[in-house]
Structure 1
């Protein structure tokens, strides 16, 4: 059974908005990235742990579906969950929601773990997540 998505709160800051007062499109990606790194830390995986093993996470594909505008001061929740397959890649599914439950954006992606020496994806990223995590169940492993 997959765990509930990991969620963090983020307040939209004025300097993140565009000339129309909307959250700038690129900032949605930054929120999603922040949630992913926070999720890894929550499960006991630090960036330095990955580097010590000679691996690094890579984004191979990212799609943002913008559904509702966000403005300065809006309180949001950004969630994240990994969906594991059998190969070298995994899916990442995220939502950015106002705290009233309104979904502002959906961010989906395909990621992998890059062997930093060989410059190739590792064969089974789940193996590394299991080994590095304090509690692999946090990641659905």
Structure 2
């Protein structure tokens, strides 16, 4: 199974005066792709909220490999790197054509939607994440 993939075109306002995508925008791309991931796994991007939980970013890491520029067409891929009791690590890869331009991870902590205190996701969510993780680890027959 393929990871969740989100196509994107770099917009002018995402670039710095040198015409290169400003570094913080890579994290914005990760964030947008995480919502695509939730929609693919849970049926909609707000699927966590339907169960009274959400997740918040506890840690982000980005490795910049190549510069992105205005109007570059890219794809952000997302896969589960780790699922803990109250946390989830998503792994991201940004590609321009066949070239990987950045990789990174976000560690999310599941929280109660109202109090924002750490909370394990409901079993229904955990099962869907585990099913997706297992399918994503299985190579597609070619």
| Normalised-by-shorter TM-score class | 0.7 to 0.9
Per the normalisation by structure 1, the TM-score is 0.81
Per the normalisation by structure 2, the TM-score is 0.81
Q: Match for residue 125 of structure 2?
A: 129
Whether 1:105 and 2:99 are equivalent positions in the alignment is: no
- State whether residues 84 and 126 of structure 1, in contact with CA within 8 Å, keep that contact through their aligned partners in structure 2: no
Residue 15 of structure 1 deviates from its aligned partner by: 1.8
Q: Distance in 2 between matches of 1:48 and 1:80?
A: 17
Unaligned runs of 5+ in 2: 136-142
Q: Match for residue 140 of structure 2?
A: none
Cα RMSD for the two superposed structures: 2.3
Q: Given the superposition, is the C-alpha separation of residues 44 and 89 from structure 1 closer, same or farther in structure 2, using an over 3 Å criterion?
A: closer
Q: Match for residue 139 of structure 2?
A: none
Kindly report structure 1 stretches of 4+ aligned residues shifted beyond 4 Å.
Answer: none
- State whether residues 43 and 139 of structure 1, in contact with CA within 8 Å, keep that contact through their aligned partners in structure 2: no
Tell me how many residue pairs correspond in the alignment: 135
